[in-house]
Amino acid sequence: MKKLLLALGAALLATVPAAAQSDYPTRPITVIVPFAAGGPTDTVTRIVGEHMSRTLGQQLVVENVVGAGGTTASTRAMRATPDGYTIITGHMGTHAASVGLYPKLAYDPRKDFEPIGLIAGTPILILAKKDFPAKDLKEFIAYVKANGSKLNEAHAGVGSVSFTTCLLLNHLLGVKPTLIPFTGTGPSMNALVAGQVDYMCDQIVNAVPQVQAGTIKAYAVATPQRNPALPDVPTTVEAGLPDYQTSAWNALFAPKGTPKPILDKLSAALDKALSDETVRKRLLDLGSDIPEGKARGQEALAAHVKAEIDKWTPIIKAAGIEAK
């Protein structure tokens, strides 16, 4: 009898999560953005999040959790209950470069998260304040080499895309500017527009409105082709720094152990958002690359995270940077 009751109890326990999975979601979903509001990760999350909320019938609520180049928020997301009600937008920094940057990183992006899908690729631009005394990339390089540590480079913390991609730039140029950390490139863009910092490397989605308005300078986009959102900005190949090729990405992840049916609902909602004309226009107007076909979804993101860790770790080691 006791055995039977135990078995019944176990069966009941097993059916509760299953029911919770098929009803999912029954309440709002928190999406942690590991940087300040108004920056690139926040922007792309909100664009797809609005559409996903309509598909899922529950609001995706963005929570900006800043600190340590996005690794504070990622650690928190890793530890969240894996029930689909807390997910995170990770990116090339938090879920790839941080592995090389932080020898004691609290999480392994490959093992401690369930991939949901890529949101968008975000090419990198070399940007400077409006009155930076260089008219093109060649002059920029000469000026930065001549002035070194007198110049201030803004970034969003060790582990961020801006930190890592400018680390590569500075390494290529052999320069060591003074690094000024912010809680995201939303606030660092404000400082650049105000002329309080000299230059930064940032994801295109954060820069298009400012470049179009003429409030900052864009010297080059670090991709093989020009970007349709900023057709006048040359590529690094055209502008004379062909070795500087770098592009970031933002993607949705859930904590390890989130049930597959829940992950599938989230991936399907993201996929639908990325096929919606309005969402696509908003992302494309800001210069993002929208993943298509096989580049979407869980498997593609898992493979991308692995490849990006393998790509960035030796670059970071070569630059000799390590966060404690």
Any contact of residue 45 with ligand ASP (CB under 6 A)? no
Any contact of residue 162 with ligand ASP (CB under 6 A)? yes
Sole residue written with tokens 């920094």: 93
Whole-angstrom distance, CA of residue 237 vs CA of residue 242: 4
Residue 62's Cβ-count burial label (10 Å; 0-12, 13-18, 19+) is: middle
Token readout for 102 is 């932080």
Find the DSSP H helices in the chain.
2-23, 40-56, 71-79, 98-101, 137-147, 161-173, 185-193, 204-213, 236-239, 260-275, 277-285, 297-319
Sign of CA dihedral 295, 296, 300, 301: positive
Q: How far is the CB of 167 from ligand ASP (least distance, A)?
A: 11
Pairing of strands 199-203, 113-129: antiparallel
Q: Which is nearer to ligand ASP, 41 or 53 (CB)?
A: 41
Taking CB under 6 A as the criterion, the residue among 29, 32, 35, 105 binding ligand ASP is 35
Any contact of residue 39 with ligand ASP (CB under 6 A)? yes
Q: Which is nearer to ligand ASP, 7 or 194 (CB)?
A: 194
Q: How far is the CB of 122 from ligand ASP (least distance, A)?
A: 8
- Contact partners, residue 32, CB within 8 Å, separation at least 6: 63, 65, 73, 76, 77, 86, 87, 88, 89
Q: How far is the CB of 229 from ligand ASP (least distance, A)?
A: 17
**Residue count at the site for ligand ASP (CB under 6 A)?**
15
Q: Which residue is nearest to ligand ASP (CB)?
A: 39
Any contact of residue 64 with ligand ASP (CB under 6 A)? no
Q: How far is the CB of 223 from ligand ASP (least distance, A)?
A: 17
Sole residue written with tokens 């913390």: 157
Q: How far is the CB of 297 from ligand ASP (least distance, A)?
A: 22
Q: Per CB under 6 A, which of residues 88..147 are in contact with ligand ASP?
A: 91, 93
Q: How far is the CB of 19 from ligand ASP (least distance, A)?
A: 37
Taking CB under 6 A as the criterion, the residue among 25, 40, 82, 259 binding ligand ASP is 40
Any contact of residue 44 with ligand ASP (CB under 6 A)? no
Whole-angstrom distance, CA of residue 130 vs CA of residue 302: 39
Residues that bind ligand ASP (CB under 6 A): 35-36, 39-42, 91, 93, 156, 160-162, 184-186
